Structure 1
Amino acid sequence: MSWGWDYLPSEQHVTAGVPAGFLAAVEQRAAELVRAAEALYLDGTSYQGSGEPMRYLDVASGLIAYYVVPRLELVVVCQLTPPPTP
């Protein structure tokens, strides 16, 4: 396996109505999260712990809710809160 990221339950559900600029920042940050998780869990498939809790990250004045699933070598983005529109 190799590390990656995905939306849950689906890209269409999570990204509905999100501005394109914010979405680009989210996808860039998700790729950074994958690289960090890959460095932290060198062999995620053999991970024996209970897993990580949901985390929140500020991105471009908005918010990402995500969690890391080491055994699947996957970063899961569950919710996006775009910045308020003026």
Structure 2
Amino acid sequence: MGVRPGRGDGGSRGAPGIPRRGREEGRELVRAAEALYLHGPAYQDLDEGAKHAFVNGGFFVYMVTPRSELVSIWQITPDPYLHD
């Protein structure tokens, strides 16, 4: 598993309300999944489904798919009460 930047990782279409710390939390999630699912393609149990991770500035919805060695971040939601 690795980090592949997408639209939400500093690109022009990213979520400006989520601070850099939120992106680091996403990278930490990938590192944790790598440690938890060492033999990803051989994983036999069911996927755990979508989860939420709350960070300063908002939250994101993600899913770990061990057999595909994939961490998908589906949605990034900035905190509507924070001002830049």
* TM-score tier after normalising by the smaller chain length: 0.7 to 0.9
Provide the aligned length of Structure 1 versus Structure 2.
79
Runs ≥4 residues deviating over 3 A: none
Encode CA deviations 1:28-85: one digit per residue, 9 max, x unaligned.
1111001111111111011111211100011113010001010111110000110114
Structure 1 CA distance, aligned partners of 2:14 and 2:40? 33
Partner of 1:58: 54
Which one of the candidate residues 28, 33, 42 is aligned to 1:32? Answer: 28
Which one of the candidate residues 54, 64, 67 is aligned to 2:63? Answer: 67
TM-score in terms of structure 2 length = 0.76
Alignment CA distance shift 1:61-1:27 (3 Å): closer
Unaligned runs of 5+ in 1: none
Question: Which structure exhibits the higher relative contact order, with contacts defined as CA atoms closer than 8 Å and separated by 6 or more residues?
Answer: 1
TM-score in terms of structure 1 length = 0.75
Q: State the Cα RMSD in Å.
A: 2.3
